[in-house]
Amino acid sequence: MIYDFSEKKNEQEQVGEKLRQMKQEYESMQMSEAQLQELRQSIEKADRDNKKEHRNHNMVKYVAGFAAAMAVFVALPNTSASVAHAMEQIPVIGKLVEVVTFRDYKYESDTKTADIEVPKLDVVDIENSANVEENSGITPENAEVQETLKKTAEEINAEIQRITGEIIADFEATLENEDGYKDVIVKSEVVATTEDFFTLKLMCYEAAASGYEWNYYYTIDLETGKRLQLKDIFGEDTDYITLISENIKEQMQAQMDADENVIYWLNDEMEELNFKQITEETSFYLNEDRHVVIAFNEGDVAPMYMGTVEFVIPAEVLKDIRK
């Protein structure tokens, strides 16, 4: 079924046209000479008042401390509850990687709440692993993979801590203003892990007037211990970007055809909104069936009300170019 955008486009163009007409009128508005004079006077007054006032550089800094080791405890001076958990251990995923809670930041007041759990990847020591029978003896291969895995985990942990550190800092900055409402949540989960791949999903949510959700995906290739990027899945010089992007567009169109409440930015009059292509950096993960899943944050390819959206790329589309 061919979607007829022409009538819609016409209407949209009309709006654009009218707005352009208004722009001319808009630009003709100017301040009078008298008003400009008053403006200069306001500026001068501000200068004078600046000099008069003795500013009090009284900065109260709140610094949250990080323990050197794993367990982190954040205590906040506050009216309501502030709780910190010690480490939580999630059962060993696969043989090699564990997810533990590195930091648990909680805050609650009348207008502000934060519930931020910062995950950390722990590489299980094969020597001490409970699965010692499965890993009978350390072969050179395994050891190398282990090393790479540890490095990869470190990189990912550093990134996660940087991201969540910023989120926490931003949140604490809003605490100065008691009136504004703010709610921040950060959680994580392991999505679709197989023998070969492990994906950690970091889910972030922030609300002031309206809520916004965004996610990060970290995938590790357990065979090599390296972080898996989208291009690693495909042969060199294959145009995975076009293949995947075109398939996504097909899926978007199909969904819109099937349900008029579904909207993707595909053929909108505002060209700059429209989805063109994924990039090397586009978020993705591999599901249990080892299919590529492309993930978009709210507002990336569709209006916010659509939420975060994902597209599973069918195996046939990619079978010729996968490694």
Query: Shortest gap between Cβ of 135 and other proteins (angstroms)?
Result: 45
Residue 81, judged by CB atoms within 10 A of its CB (0-12, 13-18, 19+), counts as exposed
Q: Please enumerate in sequence order all residues whose Cβ is within 8 A of that of 182, keeping only pairs 6 or more positions apart, or say none.
A: 111, 112, 113, 114, 171, 174, 206, 207, 208
Q: What single letter denotes the amino acid at residue 257?
A: D
Query: Shortest gap between Cβ of 60 and other proteins (angstroms)?
Result: 15
Whichever of 303 and 314 has its CB closer to other proteins, that residue is 303
Whichever of 49 and 237 has its CB closer to other proteins, that residue is 49
CA 158, CA 22: separation in Å to the nearest integer? Answer: 50
CA 51, CA 44: separation in Å to the nearest integer? Answer: 11
Whichever of 28 and 128 has its CB closer to other proteins, that residue is 28
Whichever of 41 and 277 has its CB closer to other proteins, that residue is 41
What's the token pair of residue 110? 């009348």
CA 4, CA 291: separation in Å to the nearest integer? Answer: 33
Whichever of 131 and 177 has its CB closer to other proteins, that residue is 177
Query: Shortest gap between Cβ of 167 and other proteins (angstroms)?
Result: 13
Query: Shortest gap between Cβ of 248 and other proteins (angstroms)?
Result: 18
CA distances from 202 to 164, 303, 316 (A): 10, 22, 29
Whichever of 199 and 283 has its CB closer to other proteins, that residue is 283
**Do 13 and 269 contact (CB within 8 A), yes or no?**
yes
Query: Shortest gap between Cβ of 163 and other proteins (angstroms)?
Result: 15
CA 43, CA 294: separation in Å to the nearest integer? Answer: 53
* DSSP 8-state symbol, 230: G
Query: Shortest gap between Cβ of 252 and other proteins (angstroms)?
Result: 15
Query: Shortest gap between Cβ of 119 and other proteins (angstroms)?
Result: 23
User: Over the range 43-76, which residues count as b (16 or more CB within 10 Å of their CB) and which as e?
Assistant: eeeeeeeeeeeeeeeeeeeeeeeeeeeeebebeb
Whichever of 35 and 78 has its CB closer to other proteins, that residue is 35
Residue numbers at the binding site for other proteins (CB under 8 A): 11-12, 14-16, 18-23, 25-27, 29-32, 35-36, 38-43, 45-47, 49-50, 55, 57, 210, 212, 265, 268-270, 272-273, 297-300, 303-305
* DSSP 8-state symbol, 9: H
